[in-house]
């Protein structure tokens, strides 16, 4: 892989050498997580979506070109560093236009890249692409006109699914779901933009919606039974929701959401017939506010990665941020910062498991230089157990 020098590491070395020279002592470097660049800084690689099973990423550039890149499963490096191994399609709608890039939809019928595309009349429409062994084959989804922002599910026991936004009555936006390739779509009850998150391994989604107390709460909706369950009852409301099977809880479902004004993470478990909050997390970071919180499992335990910030404005591209991971077991509190001490704008963290260990990836954004570059950091969780 081409080497891209890391400015923060070089600065630390020079400062340490200078200090050692002035004091007449050998330089001593303070331990700091090392951010390794994996993408070409000349390419604005924005909001890539990872596919763990295929060791691939997908993303859309500023010109609407849809790309698929590879990840070296041993080193975690992007191959090539541009993220442009294959041109999947053109005419895709950019992240800056709709706030969401392409996603992977994984099912018993394979892996699809799902995305929003402009049709011949310059309208948003749903599209998918699947690799046929030699090339990507893009397809406009039936009955997809004016819909946008697909989010893919991951359940290999049933056909691949997506959720997406579409026009509702009186100018409102509703959230629908369908199987990829099918024209049959159904509305997800109570769900509103920005949409829902799929629960891995289930035909079910979770999302925040207004409850009887007038506050946003976490809900779970199961597709095949058409049943909706309220998970939380927080007096101050909630924001953002995820659910996953937690190995340390015998693979029972846990839910997470932001509470107390985006400053804490609530963890919930179903005990008997009722959901209860079983833990509250807040990393000891400089930043008070949290976002982009998502779970991942590794070596039989659950972890969360997240961005922390001193600003409540998640869309800010100028306020420096940090990236942290946390454990969820209340009996074993665990927090770790997975970025260095350089003041940088970090966004969109993701986890990817290599043969060496679990790495956390994120964007480092420099508006002045016009750079969106992807870095990775070793999570420090050790090598894979098997």
Q: What integer pLDDT is reported at residue 30 of this predicted model?
A: 47
Angle at CA of residue 20, ends 375 and 26, nearest 5°:
90
Residue 185 · residue 177 · CB < 8 Å: yes
pLDDT at 320: 97
Residue 102 in domain: yes
pLDDT value of position 170: 80
pLDDT at 169: 84
How far apart are the C-alpha atoms of 77 and 79, rounded to whole Å? 6
CB of 130 within 8 A of CB of 112? yes
Is residue 67 in some structural domain? Answer: yes
What's the pLDDT score for residue 31? Answer: 72
The contacts found for 262-269 with CB under 8 angstroms, 24 or more apart, are: 262/289, 262/290, 262/291, 262/312, 263/288, 263/289, 263/290, 264/290, 265/290, 265/293, 265/304, 265/306, 265/326, 266/232, 266/234, 266/238, 267/328, 268/218, 268/231, 268/232
For 180-208, give the DSSP string.
Answer: TT----EEPTT--TT--EEPTTSSEEEEE
For residue 182, being part of any structural domain is answered with no
At 357 the pLDDT is: 98
Tell me what pLDDT residue 9 has.
Answer: 43
What global pTM score does this model have? 0.91
Q: What are phi and psi of 20, to 5 degrees?
A: -65, -35
Decide if 327 is inside a domain.
no
Q: How far is CA 356 from CA 73, 216, 383, in A?
A: 9, 40, 5
pLDDT at 23: 34
CA angle (144, 150, 155) in 5-degree steps: 115
Q: Is 10 left (phi over 0), alpha (psi -120 to 50) or beta?
A: alpha
CA neighbor of 248 nearest in space, from 201, 199, 307, 295: 295
Q: DSSP string covering 119-147, please? A: -TTS-EEEEEEEE-SSSEEEEEEEEEET-
- Residue-level pLDDT, tens digit, the chain, 386 residues: 444 544 444 444 433 333 333 333 333 334 789 999 999 999 999 999 999 999 999 999 999 999 999 999 999 999 999 999 999 999 999 999 999 999 999 999 999 999 999 999 999 999 999 999 999 999 999 999 999 999 999 999 999 999 999 999 888 999 999 999 899 999 999 999 999 999 999 999 999 999 999 999 999 999 999 999 999 999 999 999 999 999 999 999 999 999 999 999 999 999 999 999 999 999 999 999 999 999 999 999 999 999 999 999 999 999 999 999 999 999 999 999 999 999 999 999 999 999 999 999 999 999 888 899 999 999 999 999 97
pLDDT of 247: 95
Q: Are 56 and 69 in contact (CB under 8 A)?
A: yes
Q: Quote the pLDDT of residue 8.
A: 45
The two three-digit tokens of residue 77, written as one number: 């490096």
Number of domains in the chain: 1
- Please check whether residue 36 is in contact with residue 72, taking contact to mean a CB–CB distance below 8 angstroms: no
Copy the structure tokens of residue 238: 């909630």
Structural domain containing residue 115: 45-161
* CB neighbour list of residue 317: distance below 8 Å, 6 or more residues apart: 345, 347, 365, 367
């Amino acid at each position: 892989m081409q080497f891209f020098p890391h400015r923060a590491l070089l600065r630390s070395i020079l400062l340490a050498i200078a200090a050692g020279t002035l004091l007449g002592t050998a330089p001593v470097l303070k331990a700091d997580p090392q951010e390794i660049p994996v993408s070409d800084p000349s390419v604005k690689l924005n909001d890539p979506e990872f596919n763990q099973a295929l060791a691939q990423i997908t993303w859309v550039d500023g010109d609407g070109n849809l790309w698929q890149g590879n990840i070296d499963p041993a080193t975690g490096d992007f191959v090539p560093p541009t993220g442009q191994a294959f041109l999947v399609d053109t005419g895709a709608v950019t992240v800056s236009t709709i706030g969401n890039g392409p996603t992977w939809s994984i099912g018993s019928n394979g892996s699809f890249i799902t995305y929003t595309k402009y049709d011949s009349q310059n309208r948003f429409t749903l599209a998918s692409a699947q690799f046929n062994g030699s090339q990507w084959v893009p397809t406009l989804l039936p009955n997809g006109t004016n819909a946008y922002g697909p989010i893919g599910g991951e359940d290999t026991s049933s056909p691949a699914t997506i959720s997406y936004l579409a026009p509702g009555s009186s100018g409102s936006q509703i959230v629908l779901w369908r199987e990829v390739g099918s024209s049959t779509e159904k509305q997800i009850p109570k769900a509103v933009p920005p949409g829902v998150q799929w629960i891995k391994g289930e035909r079910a989604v979770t999302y925040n919606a207004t409850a009887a107390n007038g506050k946003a709460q976490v809900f779970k909706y199961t597709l095949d039974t058409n049943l909706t369950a309220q998970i939380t009852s927080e007096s101050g409301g909630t924001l953002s929701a995820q659910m996953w099977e937690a190995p340390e809880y015998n693979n029972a479902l846990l839910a997470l959401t932001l509470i107390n004004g985006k400053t804490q993470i609530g963890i919930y478990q179903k005990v008997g017939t009722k959901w209860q909050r079983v833990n509250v997390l807040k990393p000891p970071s400089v930043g008070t506010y949290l976002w982009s919180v998502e779970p991942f499992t590794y070596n039989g335990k659950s972890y969360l990665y997240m961005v922390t910030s001193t600003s409540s404005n998640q869309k800010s591209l100028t306020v420096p941020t940090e990236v942290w991971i946390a454990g969820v077991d209340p009996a074993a509190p665990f927090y770790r910062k997975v970025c260095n001490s350089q003041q940088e704008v970090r966004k969109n963290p993701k986890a990817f498991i290599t043969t060496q260990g679990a790495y956390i990836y994120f964007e480092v954004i420099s508006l002045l230089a016009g750079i969106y570059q992807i870095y990775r950091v070793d999570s420090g969780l050790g090598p894979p157990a098997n």
